[in-house]
Structure 1
Amino acid sequence: MPVEQIPIGRFSRIVHLTQKALRLYDRKGLLVPEAKDPITGYRNYTIRQLEAGVRVRTLASLGFSLEEMKAVIDGGGDDGMVERRLAAVRQEMMRLKHIEEVLSVRPALEELYTMSLSEPVVKEIPEIRVISKRGKVGSEDGNYEDICRRVIEELMAAVYSPENQRNGIRIVGPVMMLCYDEEYRETDADLELAVPVAGRVSVGEGMEVKVLPAVEVVSVLYTGPYYNLTSAYGKIQEYAAVAALTLRGPDRQLYYNNPQEVAPEELRTEVQYPILRAA
């Protein structure tokens, strides 16, 4: 091995990144070893890659996503990236502060399960014309809140593009997320973010204008932080079982306010689950 080459294990110790993380960064094109054994695939880095390794570790420790890290490494990071990350950190601090306040009163365990939930109702949802983006995402792309935020920002940028504004496009309903999976997935989750719109629309790559079909749903309105949304799904499941209704996907989450503008306990989310009635 040439003297300037550094085996992956030693490189891992120097830059304080696990070998698992280094393999991930290699696959994502963030930190690609300059030498690989053509037979074994064993990775070797070089001395001049040490600085890049330190930069990647620093960005990862600050919570930047893989996409954001790659933009910085490629020299395309924008000035707003730090501000957006800072806003996300402050939002997380608010969430943790709320948890601290709840736990500091030492409630009984059962009280922790009491959430602000409306009673389930069955209602008809008409067709909705939306601009949307669908894809498979996972933990490597960041947590789901970060993923949703990024995609919503992309959709809003399209809505407020000069061309669409000249065409008089209007937002006519809350932003929503549709989940097409039949089970919970940490990776490869099939999600779609959508913004209801009216007017002539032009969209960019990866987006589409479509009409969501009319559906009959069981609906629950939940007030509180997103991490407790499972309580809404549990209440819908209980209601459907008693009413002999079959739940079918994709379920929808409608977001009535902005997590960047209100405290986590004030977030309002409607969960809609399409149903089939027993014959």
Structure 2
Amino acid sequence: MLSIGEFSRICEVTPKTLRYYEEIGLLYPEEISLENGYRYYSIKQLEKMLLINRLKSYKLSLEEIKVITGAMGVSSDNQILSALIRQKGLLLNQIEKISNIIRQIDFDIQQIKVGKSIMSYLLDIDVKLVEYPQQNILYLRRKLTHEECLNGYSQFFCKLYQKIATEKLTVMGPAITIYHNPSCDPFEFEIEFAVPIKEVVTGTRDFQNGLCVKSTLNGSYANITSIYARQQEWAESNGYDFIRSPFELYITEPNATNTPDDYITEIYYPVIKRR
């Protein structure tokens, strides 16, 4: 048997940490002295403690580790494999986000070095006046929380394309997302997902917008707020008012490419000339 001090030294954790693990049910001592309350751990428990340390280094939470290892011993390899695959995906997603941030920082550094403002990129966003044609769209309209929006829109477009395939409908253009006015709940958004089709069937409607300001986003959706900000500035400077909900066309669908840098999205905002 190993004392708590010996066990903590071998496994490179503090006795305080071991007591906390005992408190949350992650790792219990093999024996507790009734006379003085001293904790003792068995040699066999070294393996479980080393596994806990290893899983912690992979950024798994203690609750996740508790589920993986079980309360009374090392879990099966299948449980560990499933957890590692899931965690690897999360870490790769974090790496991608950090890489995008680093690229943006590098861009800003170069802008400042050549004497430009960090926000000067807004002036490089092209804004045009266009007439957007009337279309017949197959649509789904939903109220989503901010968290649901972050999870992406693919499930809604999948439903539309499934109907299109089942009923052998004719697609007439790229997928569209229409952002309607926010509800009274600031954390809820009303969004319409649509695909232009030729046939008039159940679930379709006319989509009329007419005069719009249009900009094109090349790259990650993380930069899309800059587009909307630039359109607002342009409309104010040129005497136009926004009259209906903005909408986005996915010229390059996210599922069709592996890199956000390849995304092409057109952003439209219906306007009218101010009198």
Q: 8 Å contact 2:125–2:230 — kept in the other structure?
A: no
Letter in 1 for 2:248: Q
Residue from 222, 234, 239 that aligns with 1:227: 222
Is the alpha carbon distance of 1:173 and 1:147 closer, same or farther for their aligned partners in structure 2, counting shifts above 3 Å? same
Aligned residue number for residue 270 of structure 1 = 266
- CA shift, 1:114, in A, is 2.7
Aligned residue number for residue 130 of structure 2 = 123
Aligned residue number for residue 105 of structure 2 = 103
- Whether 2:146 is the aligned partner of 1:151: answer no
Q: 8 Å contact 1:179–1:249 — kept in the other structure?
A: no
**3-state SS, counterpart of residue 158 of structure 1:** helix
- CA shift, 1:116, in A, is 10
- The 2-side partners of 1:262 and 1:201 are apart by 34
Letter in 1 for 2:251: Y
Q: 8 Å contact 1:130–1:194 — kept in the other structure?
A: yes
TM-score (norm 2): 0.58
Letter in 2 for 1:181: N
Unaligned runs of 5+ in 2: 1-22, 26-62, 65-84
Q: 8 Å contact 2:209–2:270 — kept in the other structure?
A: no
- CA shift, 1:225, in A, is 0.9
Question: Aligned ranges for residues 72-91 of structure 1 at < 5 Å?
Answer: none
Letter in 1 for 2:128: V
Residue from 239, 244, 247 that aligns with 2:239: 244
Instruction: Note the aligned Cα RMSD (angstroms).
Output: 3.5
**3-state SS, counterpart of residue 267 of structure 2:** strand
Q: Could you report, residue by residue, the CA deviation over 1:25-83 in whole angstroms, capped at 9, with x for unpaired residues?
A: xxxxxxxxxxxxxxxxxxxxxxxxxxxxxxxx86xxxxxxxxxxxxxxxxxxxxxxxx9
Is the alpha carbon distance of 1:227 and 1:171 closer, same or farther for their aligned partners in structure 2, counting shifts above 3 Å? same
**3-state SS, counterpart of residue 157 of structure 2:** helix
- CA shift, 1:266, in A, is 2.0
Q: Could you report, residue by residue, the CA deviation over 1:180-239 in whole angstroms, capped at 9, with x for unpaired residues?
A: 12589762201101001113546xxxxx21111142101111112112101111111111
Q: 8 Å contact 1:256–1:269 — kept in the other structure?
A: yes
- CA shift, 1:106, in A, is 7.2
**Equivalent pairs, count:** 190
- CA shift, 1:154, in A, is 1.4
- The 1-side partners of 2:151 and 2:144 are apart by 11
Is the alpha carbon distance of 1:263 and 1:217 closer, same or farther for their aligned partners in structure 2, counting shifts above 3 Å? same
Is the alpha carbon distance of 1:102 and 1:214 closer, same or farther for their aligned partners in structure 2, counting shifts above 3 Å? closer
Aligned residue number for residue 94 of structure 1 = 96
Aligned residue number for residue 139 of structure 1 = 146
**If each structure's helix is expressed as a fraction of its own residues, which one has the higher value?**
2
**3-state SS, counterpart of residue 171 of structure 1:** coil
Is the alpha carbon distance of 1:200 and 1:250 closer, same or farther for their aligned partners in structure 2, counting shifts above 3 Å? closer
TM-score (norm 1): 0.57
Is the alpha carbon distance of 1:114 and 1:145 closer, same or farther for their aligned partners in structure 2, counting shifts above 3 Å? same
Q: 8 Å contact 2:181–2:245 — kept in the other structure?
A: yes
Is the alpha carbon distance of 1:228 and 1:105 closer, same or farther for their aligned partners in structure 2, counting shifts above 3 Å? closer
Q: 8 Å contact 1:117–1:223 — kept in the other structure?
A: no
